[in-house]
Structure 1
């Protein structure tokens, strides 16, 4: 089993509430999403060469969702989201830091690393290698807005 598949299985076990395998068929449909069939699109249509997402479940513009995200080397500006999210690094090395943290003080996070980001808390992310791949589960809609250093 490839490392990506092992990590996705682990992430699924950690992030989703367990449900009996014999649950009634009237529930939500089973979703199987081979990585090779993931369709990545720019997360910001105004920046087609930037971060890309592949939605696996749900609609990130209106409610809860799960997605893969690819980010090229570099750091995002300080920003907030209205919803909480949980993230697991699948490939690459990243840093995740709060508004009061310096990037030099944040620990490098490799494959299998996890973070929970509460909504409305300013933070930044950095991909330290050519490209990072992440698995993200959003509790509500995926949005974001930039934050000036020192306040919202």
Structure 2
């Protein structure tokens, strides 16, 4: 009969695994890195007062989508940088990345909920619902795997 693994042994075993193994932290690491890179780009465009994306959306008739673009360049630049760094940390299974990722996912969920409440088009509503769902699943996942990072 196989011996039952204690909780402490499970923690040690999971701590020794690369994140691409049983942990799966690489998925949210990649999501956070991609999101962070996108938010950094939007923040830089806003800081430099470049309205290229906004102008493109308006020319395509998607004027309501411009509401989803950042309005505070420096804030979004900092949030994007932390999201990118936290994503890399999750891939490397770093303990500090867990806390930063939780903060970033709460921020994304809160911002998406604001867009859901104030959206005027189906497209903005759909994107906001998906962003909220991804953030919520990420929060639950990171909450359930906290022992891996502690």
TM (norm. structure 2) is 0.24
Bigger proportion of residues as helix: 2
What TM-score, normalized by structure 1, do the two folds share? 0.24
Give the greater-gyration-radius structure (CA): 2
